[in-house]
Chain A
Amino acid sequence: MGQGAINPAAAGVIPWWRNRRLIPWLVQGVAGLALLVLVAFLVGNLVRNLTSAGLLLSWSWLGNPAGFDVSETLLPFNAGLPYWRALAAGLVNTVRVVLAGLVGATVLGTLVGVASFSSNGLLRRLARVYVELIRNIPLLLQLVFWYFVVFLALPGGREAIQLPGMVLAKSGLFLIRPELVNGVWQAPLRLTVEFGALLTGLVTYTAAFIAEVVRGGVASVSKGQWEAARSLGFSPLQTLRRIVLPQALRVIVPGLNSQYISLAKNSSLAVACGYTDLYSVAETTLNQTGRAVEVVLILLAAYLVIDLLISALMNGLNQLVQIRER
């Protein structure tokens, strides 16, 4: 290649290294080649190492009986069922906590976000303190705090906190006419404290971020809108609901998307508080089977699908709120 450079360029001909169209392609070619070499190198090592460990990629183990139990599943599961059923049960558990978390975080986040525009100074400041407090403490720390310090300190048995129609005990939240049988609470609908701790942690944490998104959205609506609405005789609440929020939503919805996705991903911290989610089942599966690569692939794919679903949903919603522009 070096010889081309020595050759004096003929008059009027652009030397190739100055060629505006060629250079980018050359750079790309070299970068692409390097990338290809890197990937080939990594995959080559992977195959060689896996072969020597006798763990070459295979999926047949998914059909073997799992041998371990998964608690609080919506899908019926026992230890005799295959691994893929265990993973599916874990996935359902993840989806369950994510869905509940999305609803909870949206409600709480909106409340806190709107509270920061309250005419009440105390409420306004409290909303700020909440956001600043929650955002600056790691989620994992909050989760273990909720589980080990708060939820496990709940009283059990007869001393459980009894409210009309529900009971909050160490073993969980019992809804719809709970009754005490042999010192154990029972009810048709029951949420465990593991689920409760994870949900509480995810909701309070994500709500702080959503509150900021909501605040930004509401702040983006010009002050004139408020004043115009007030002068037309709307009450503050009406103004917020009918005038300001619909406009703010255009700014809020795109911002919510990334918060929702991060909530879904953060749900994988469930292992820290004993909730059996997809990651937790995957970890146990890896341990029983030693199939690290396959398990990681399943994990990555599952979360990617969840993220894409949320994104698709939010894109649809976004189009719905943006369409009002005339």
Chain B
Amino acid sequence: MKRAFRTAAWALALLATPLVGCAPDGGGIQSLKLAGIKGRGTLICGVDGKLPGFSFVNPDGSYSGLDVDICKAVAAAALGDPTKVDFRDLNSSERFAALASGEIDLLSRNTTLTLSRDASGGNGLSFAPTVFFDGQGVMAPKASGITSLRGLAGKPICVESGTTTELNLADRMREIKAPYTPLKFQTGDQTYAAYLQGRCVAVTSDRSQLAAKRTSFPDPAAHVLLPEVLSKEPLTPATVNGDPGWADAVRWTIFGLMQAEELGITQANIDVKLAEATANANQADLRRFLGVEGEFGKQLGLPADFVVQAVKAVGNYGEIFERNVGQGSKLKLERGLNRQWTQGGLIYAPPFR
């Protein structure tokens, strides 16, 4: 009897849960996701975790890299503290499900922006500004004598499964009518391990990633990047489609990092700039950008000084780039397409107005 009642009560409670869960859905312009993050006090960020330069676990257990810094910047903007990030290592085939099911708030995992990933009928993601313009390349050992894609006909090629790389490779090889054997691995480290052990004559991935990995090889000079660029790979953070408010907050935090570089605001001088802007009422642009006046933060559901917080935490876009993948890092990648638009690159923040 008692048990029957308990069971019934339990069933009722279960039935009621979705109703309770849906209750805050009704009103308010504010993003549900953002409110959730603020309530939780941490940002959950999906990263690769095994890719030097982009996201990587140090022996002391801390994360570093370009993708990681984007997470930290967003955490600083939304929560005022760059350390309040919970990193989740995701492999390429589980990243979208993790985002769609609400398990992570932000996917910052060298993910290529494509139509099918963006469209609601496809993966249904919402993409932030591209943080790294890349292209797919192929790397082969110098000793193999392979100099072009055609040289790979009939040979095994290592590729990470579930990536656009895999699809582009299939497309290009079909175009030049060269049969090949794809050797697919679940994670990047396995892919490169198989390549280094000589299981395949070439490995394909984003050119930045290839360059990054090459620096860590025992003999970097023994490997060459083939001249062909197989595709455009704009690596872009993403959020879930159903929450435009949260997507906007992420988008404008990243634009803030880019705008900061354009305005010459760095981690080192931001306090000085802020003091200048506060003192001088004539610098309206700067005052709005740094949140001294105007309502940009409020419109996004973020604190007024969200740009200041983000830049203080990780520096402007240029600093992030140089520290993680540029001259200040082991990878020594050129800025290339990732220069500011004022210098002929593609990094362009729309006006903060």
Binds A, one of B6-14, B35-43, B284-292, B318-326: B6-14
Taking A41-B15, A53-B242, A284-B161 as contacts, is the C-beta distance between A290 and B197 under 8 angstroms?
no
Binding site for B on A (CB under 8 A): 1-2, 5, 17, 26, 30-31, 33-34, 37-38, 41, 44-45, 48-49, 52-55, 67-72, 78-80, 148, 152-153, 156, 170-171, 184, 193-194, 271-272, 274, 276, 280, 283-284, 286-288, 290, 292
Binding site for A on B (CB under 8 A): 1, 3-4, 7-8, 10-11, 14-15, 17-18, 92-93, 96-97, 100-101, 116, 120-124, 154-156, 161-162, 166-167, 169-171, 174, 180-186, 190, 193-194, 197-199, 241-242
Q: What is the distance, in angstroms, from B268's C-beta to the closest C-beta of chain A?
A: 41
Q: Taking each of A41, A48, A170, A271, which has the highest tally of chain B beta carbons within 10 Å of its own beta carbon? A: A271
What are the residues of chain A within 8 A of B14 when measuring CB–CB?
37-38, 41
Q: Would you list 19 pairs from A and B whose C-beta atoms are within 8 A, ordered by A residue?
A: A2-B1, A30-B8, A37-B15, A44-B18, A67-B167, A69-B169, A69-B180, A70-B182, A71-B183, A79-B174, A152-B199, A153-B197, A170-B197, A170-B198, A194-B183, A283-B93, A288-B167, A290-B97, A290-B124
18 additional A-B pairs beyond A152-B198, A274-B184, A280-B184, beta carbons within 8 Å, are A37-B14, A53-B100, A68-B182, A70-B182, A79-B170, A79-B171, A148-B193, A152-B193, A152-B197, A171-B156, A184-B154, A271-B161, A272-B186, A274-B183, A287-B92, A290-B100, A292-B97, A292-B100
What are the residues of chain A within 8 A of B198 when measuring CB–CB?
152, 156, 170
Interface pair A68/B4, CB less than 8 Å apart: no
What are the residues of chain A within 8 A of B171 when measuring CB–CB?
67, 79
Taking A280-B161, A286-B97 as contacts, is the C-beta distance between A170 and B174 under 8 angstroms?
no
How far is it, in angstroms, between the C-alpha of A170 and the C-alpha of B197 when the chains are bound?
Answer: 9
How far is it, in angstroms, between the C-alpha of A172 and the C-alpha of B156 when the chains are bound?
Answer: 11
Interface pair B161/A290, CB less than 8 Å apart: no
Q: Taking each of B11, B101, B190, B199, which has the highest tally of chain A beta carbons within 10 Å of its own beta carbon? A: B199
What are the residues of chain A within 8 A of B162 when measuring CB–CB?
283-284, 287-288
Taking A53-B124, A54-B121, A148-B193 as contacts, is the C-beta distance between A68 and B170 under 8 angstroms?
yes
Across the two chains, which residue of chain B brings its CB closest to A5? B1
Q: What is the distance, in angstroms, from B47's C-beta to the closest C-beta of chain A?
A: 17
Taking A5-B1, A68-B166, A152-B197 as contacts, is the C-beta distance between A54 and B124 under 8 angstroms?
yes
Q: What is the distance, in angstroms, from B183's C-beta to the closest C-beta of chain A?
A: 5
Inter-chain contact total with CB atoms closer than 8 Å = 124
How far is it, in angstroms, between the C-alpha of A37 and the C-alpha of B18 when the chains are bound?
Answer: 13
Q: What is the distance, in angstroms, from A82's C-beta to the closest C-beta of chain B?
A: 14
Across the two chains, which residue of chain B brings its CB closest to A286? B93
How far is it, in angstroms, between the C-alpha of A4 and the C-alpha of B182 when the chains are bound?
Answer: 72
Q: What is the distance, in angstroms, from B21's C-beta to the closest C-beta of chain A?
A: 9
How far is it, in angstroms, between the C-alpha of A286 and the C-alpha of B190 when the chains are bound?
Answer: 20
Across the two chains, which residue of chain A brings its CB closest to B120? A54
How far is it, in angstroms, between the C-alpha of A5 and the C-alpha of B5 when the chains are bound?
Answer: 14
What are the residues of chain A within 8 A of B241 when measuring CB–CB?
53-54
Q: What is the distance, in angstroms, from B162's C-beta to the closest C-beta of chain A?
A: 4
How far is it, in angstroms, between the C-alpha of A103 and the C-alpha of B7 when the chains are bound?
Answer: 50
Across the two chains, which residue of chain A brings its CB closest to B14? A41
Q: What is the distance, in angstroms, from A151's C-beta to the closest C-beta of chain B?
A: 9
Across the two chains, which residue of chain B brings its CB closest to A79? B170
How far is it, in angstroms, between the C-alpha of A156 and the C-alpha of B197 when the chains are bound?
Answer: 10
What are the residues of chain B within 8 A of A276 when measuring CB–CB?
184
Across the two chains, which residue of chain A brings its CB closest to B182? A69
Interface pair B185/A78, CB less than 8 Å apart: no
Interface pair B199/A193, CB less than 8 Å apart: yes
Q: Would you list the 8 A-B pairs with minimal beta carbon distance, nearest first? A: A287-B162, A152-B197, A79-B170, A287-B93, A37-B11, A290-B123, A69-B182, A283-B93
What are the residues of chain A within 8 A of B121 when measuring CB–CB?
54
What are the residues of chain A within 8 A of B97 when measuring CB–CB?
286, 290, 292
Interface pair A274/B194, CB less than 8 Å apart: yes
Q: What is the distance, in angstroms, from B149's C-beta to the closest C-beta of chain A?
A: 15
Q: What is the distance, in angstroms, from B334's C-beta to the closest C-beta of chain A?
A: 31
What are the residues of chain B within 8 A of A55 when measuring CB–CB?
100, 124
How far is it, in angstroms, between the C-alpha of A315 and the C-alpha of B312 when the chains are bound?
Answer: 70
Across the two chains, which residue of chain A brings its CB closest to B22? A48
What are the residues of chain B within 8 A of A193 when measuring CB–CB?
199
Interface pair A34/B199, CB less than 8 Å apart: no
Interface pair B161/A283, CB less than 8 Å apart: yes
Interface pair A78/B174, CB less than 8 Å apart: yes
Interface pair A71/B182, CB less than 8 Å apart: yes
Interface pair B4/A26, CB less than 8 Å apart: yes
Interface pair A30/B182, CB less than 8 Å apart: no
How far is it, in angstroms, between the C-alpha of A201 and the C-alpha of B61 when the chains are bound?
Answer: 32
How far is it, in angstroms, between the C-alpha of A156 and the C-alpha of B200 when the chains are bound?
Answer: 11
What are the residues of chain A within 8 A of B181 when measuring CB–CB?
71-72
Across the two chains, which residue of chain B brings its CB closest to A170? B198
Across the two chains, which residue of chain A brings its CB closest to B200? A171
What are the residues of chain A within 8 A of B182 when measuring CB–CB?
68-71
Across the two chains, which residue of chain B brings its CB closest to A290? B123
What are the residues of chain B within 8 A of A80 when measuring CB–CB?
174
What are the residues of chain A within 8 A of B116 when measuring CB–CB?
288
How far is it, in angstroms, between the C-alpha of A54 and the C-alpha of B118 when the chains are bound?
Answer: 12
Across the two chains, which residue of chain A brings its CB closest to B21? A45
What are the residues of chain B within 8 A of A5 when measuring CB–CB?
1
How far is it, in angstroms, between the C-alpha of A37 and the C-alpha of B16 when the chains are bound?
Answer: 11
Across the two chains, which residue of chain A brings its CB closest to B199? A152
Other-chain contact of B197, A41, A52, A148 (Cβ < 8 Å): A148
Other-chain contact of B11, A33, A52, A69, A194 (Cβ < 8 Å): A33
Interface pair A69/B1, CB less than 8 Å apart: no
Interface pair B170/A69, CB less than 8 Å apart: yes
Across the two chains, which residue of chain B brings its CB closest to A148? B193
Across the two chains, which residue of chain B brings its CB closest to A276? B184
Taking A37-B14, A271-B186 as contacts, is the C-beta distance between A67 and B93 under 8 angstroms?
no
Q: What is the distance, in angstroms, from A324's C-beta to the closest C-beta of chain B?
A: 48
Across the two chains, which residue of chain B brings its CB closest to A1? B1
Q: What is the distance, in angstroms, from A225's C-beta to the closest C-beta of chain B?
A: 51
